[in-house]
Structure 1
Amino acid sequence: MKDLRKHYSAIIIGGGQAGLSVSHYLQQQAIGHLVIEKHSLMHSWQTARWDSFTLVTPNWQCQLPDHPYDGDDPKGFMKRDDVVAYLDRFATKVQPPALEGVAVNRVSLNSNGKYAVKSSAGEFSADQIVVASGGYHLPIIPRMAERLPDRLFQLHSAEYRSPEQLPEGAVLVVGSGQSGAQIAEDLHIAGRKVFLATGDAPRVARQYRGKDVVEWLDEMGYYEMLVDQHPLREGVRDNTNHYVTGRDGGREIDLRKFALEGMELFGLLEEYRNGDFIFRDNLQANLDHADSVYCNINQRIDAYIASQGIEAPPASEYTPCWEPNQERSELNLVDAGISAVIWCIGFRPDFHWLDASVFNGQGHPIHKRGVTQQPGLYFIGLPWLHTWGSGRFSGVAADAEYLVERIKAYQRQQDAALQPLSEQASA
């Protein structure tokens, strides 16, 4: 980057779609800023997705600032390489003033009210800081993993690429959220023997009554629901996403169907002891919970169709295609022929570099629509930042535009405070 300065009106930390969306609106307002990215722009999309990855939301929901989906399949689901290309085109449009390959080591507030940014490329300062590094930083791997045999191949879902990456043998997939369910399916389709340790993740239909469920929910206003309007309030930010897939044109995922086809399902993985994996006896409860959410969403769509007098195909009722006869609570590693374990149990946030008293006990930032109680400090790109759509390509533009308005207002306030009293009186 040319003409690198030491002080900026705003510094954005993170060069993904959220950070670049903020840069887009800052440029429109002629507010000087710098984007600092630890790797390369859109790095996580390029490196942290498996080979068969697809979006789980339809392409038409890709609505980045002045960059809507520009392909010929709006109701389809972009594959990983297509998503990367879409985001690269967005970055080319924005042309952010960015430093790539630069790690931020410390951000703190000086006594003069400016933010000091220490990085691997030197020190900078800013009037305001936008944290756009997301909330998925540290892969969660339980301590029991340390006691598994050295011969066992272990990796986190963020490192998974394809079945060919794993040694021959059966695979234990731990976790049934979006990543776990889709990775288990990927291995299952490839003919691998899969054991799946389930959790309490909900599921959703792909198509229902003539439309993709996402289209129905969008029409019903669900993606514009404010976090304050949700029954759980801020607690909804901790919810696991519904599992579904955009693979092969999009379809729902039913773990019961996998079980009919030979995948072995278990409850929550609790322990590893003397060569045995120990599971909680809650497989039935996990499956029933996922199905109850699935059915509840369909019923809400039914009610909406009825209330609006919409002509649509008739409603249908889900019937479980498989039930566990007797839940198994133990699985012997050797007897099962397991050669690999994939941990699909999420991430922890890591904002250790940010010296600010704006975090809760779990390390998540406390904010109102991305605005923290510390003046000039903002977050973007987090689930349920403001609405359900905040964590999707459909909602980041509105979040970014709102934050830039706040940044602009704060800048005006600071500029006014610096004016001599005589100038303020004559203004």
Structure 2
Amino acid sequence: MSSEDVEVVVVGGGQAGLAMSEHLGAQRIAHVVLERHRIAERWRTERWDSLVANGPAWHDRFPGMEFADVEPDGFATKDQVAQYFETYARRIDAPVRCGVEVTAVRRRPGRSGFRVVTTDGVIEARFVVAATGPFQRPVIPPIVPADAVPAQLHSSAYRNPGQLVDGAVLVVGAGSSGVQIADELRRSGRRVLLSVGPHERPPRSYRGRDFCWWLGVLGLWDADAPPQGAEHVTIAVSGARGGRTVDFRALAETGVELLGMTSSYADGVLRFAPDLGATIARGDANYLALLDAADAYVERHGLDLPEEPEARTLRPDPPCITEPVLSLDLSAEGVTTIVWATGFAADYDWLQVDAFDEAGRPRHQRGVSAEAGVYFLGLPWLSRRGSSFIWGVWHDAKYVADHIVTQRRYLSYAPDPTPGEHHERLGLTGAMR
């Protein structure tokens, strides 16, 4: 097996890996980006066909390049996003090696640095950046047995309505993915049931500005930790069909049947928590709080932004909220498919170093690992709320690159053999006498 030496190995060729490569290249640090598939592979093959970015093109991009084929206030398709990263990699001349999987990273015994084992040989590296992001292993809660319905799949395997067998569809999870998939399925003529859990529900836009703008001027992108109790709350926002505020009552009016959080299964019957009304109300409170903050900002700064009083008008609760269904006989209701929009888990089995806590979560401070020489990039809340967004990961990568530069300086320092020689070279010996 071949072997080589590279100062920094970046694992992952998505947005995090390319951002890292740009900053390392700017510092002239020798590195390689290893990607087991293609650049931005998850945008290509692990998303549904109609997916668009959840943020407008002026916002969800790297600072150095705009989208060539998307209006600033438009929402890029998944293919346009993948092409954006392909183009960006060429622009910065990123040393990406596609089709190379990292199978193990171990610290070199008795010396600094790491041994990176790949499907294309071994690389000896001083630093390793894990830039694989948070969407590594689809999570399907072990609630419903595999044979309970004809088909169960994770949202990452969903492509379009025609892919599914005939019958009703239950979508579990009401973040951005679950809401958009449920809406698409209902528009295709399917009967759709949507299990709703805790969520934040920002306005798509308010007073002529996208919610991404509001989070920016209000300083909310820079929050360094989620509110207590909201660590795993999803954001229900969508760029689909030009971008719209997610409104669960409006979804119900189109025929989507809302249910509480999925809780248990037994003898063909799926049960749901009696929390739907409270969950919707908390989402409303989050929505209205952002409107309040935006109005206060406009007044404080004297901005000429049009008032939008109709944004505060909430539709009446439909019967599925006021009289929630608490159990569902899947067979009797004709449910043939369950789509689990229940997120992902990290998978760092290949990173065999002391960088994780008892639950397997990375131990780090702004991406700087507890294991010297190892870094993490692309994780939610790595340094702030915006860390998992395209622009956010770019700024996080700069911080990590600067940290690597500092460590290189420490590691390259070598004291002079004798203090006298050092003083003579500095011209200080005579003065000291």
Distance 2:126 2:63 in 1: 24
- Equivalent residue for 1:176? 174
CA contact (8 A) 1:257 1:321 kept: no
- Equivalent residue for 1:389? 386
Find out whether 1:414 has 2:407 as its counterpart.
Answer: no
Change (3 A) 1:44 1:291: same
Q: TM-score, normalised by structure 1?
A: 0.92
CA contact (8 A) 1:13 1:36 kept: yes
Deviation at 1:148, TM superposition (A): 3.5
Secondary structure, in 3 states, of the residue corresponding to 1:260? helix
- Equivalent residue for 1:207? 205
- Equivalent residue for 1:116? 115
Q: Mind listing any 5+ residue stretches in structure 1 that lack a counterpart?
A: none
Structure 2 residue identity aligned to 1:318: T
Secondary structure, in 3 states, of the residue corresponding to 2:7? strand
Distance 2:214 2:136 in 1: 32
Q: TM-score, normalised by structure 2?
A: 0.91
Deviation at 1:84, TM superposition (A): 1.6
- Equivalent residue for 2:316? 321
Change (3 A) 1:301 1:65: closer
Find out whether 1:282 has 2:275 as its counterpart.
Answer: yes
Distance 2:12 2:313 in 1: 43
Distance 1:144 1:322 in 2: 29
Deviation at 1:284, TM superposition (A): 0.8
CA contact (8 A) 2:169 2:336 kept: yes
Deviation at 1:281, TM superposition (A): 0.8
Distance 2:289 2:314 in 1: 14
Structure 1 residue identity aligned to 2:316: C
- Kindly provide the CA deviation profile for residues 328-362 of structure 1, in whole angstroms up to 9, marking residues without a partner as x: 11111122111111011111111122122222343
Structure 2 residue identity aligned to 1:127: R
Change (3 A) 1:49 1:373: same
Deviation at 1:411, TM superposition (A): 1.3
CA contact (8 A) 1:12 1:131 kept: yes
What are the equivalent positions in structure 2 for 1:61-76 lying under 5 Å apart? 61-64=59-62, 66-71=64-69, 73-76=71-74
Change (3 A) 1:18 1:128: same
Deviates more, 1:29-38 or 1:69-78: 69-78
Distance 1:7 1:70 in 2: 37
Out of 243, 256, 262, the position equivalent to 2:255 is 262
Change (3 A) 1:169 1:414: same
Secondary structure, in 3 states, of the residue corresponding to 2:391? coil
Could you say which structure has the larger radius of gyration? 2
Deviation at 1:311, TM superposition (A): 2.3
CA contact (8 A) 2:134 2:346 kept: yes
CA contact (8 A) 1:105 1:353 kept: yes
Secondary structure, in 3 states, of the residue corresponding to 1:311? coil
Change (3 A) 1:260 1:175: same
Q: Equivalent pairs: percent with the same residue? A: 34
CA contact (8 A) 1:380 1:400 kept: yes
Change (3 A) 1:257 1:135: same
Q: Mind listing any 5+ residue stretches in structure 2 that lack a counterpart?
A: 427-433
Secondary structure, in 3 states, of the residue corresponding to 1:322? coil
Distance 1:343 1:54 in 2: 19
Deviation at 1:153, TM superposition (A): 1.0
CA contact (8 A) 1:259 1:322 kept: no
Deviates more, 1:376-385 or 1:306-315: 306-315
Out of 316, 329, 332, the position equivalent to 1:332 is 329
Distance 1:231 1:272 in 2: 31
- Kindly provide the CA deviation profile for residues 214-264 of structure 1, in whole angstroms up to 9, marking residues without a partner as x: 2222222322x1416x654xx86x333321211121111111111122211
- Equivalent residue for 2:80? 82
Deviation at 1:210, TM superposition (A): 2.1
What are the equivalent positions in structure 2 for 1:80-159 lying under 5 Å apart? 80-110=78-108, 111-149=110-148, 152-159=150-157
- Kindly provide the CA deviation profile for residues 114-163 of structure 1, in whole angstroms up to 9, marking residues without a partner as x: 111112222111001111001221111122333533x5111101111100
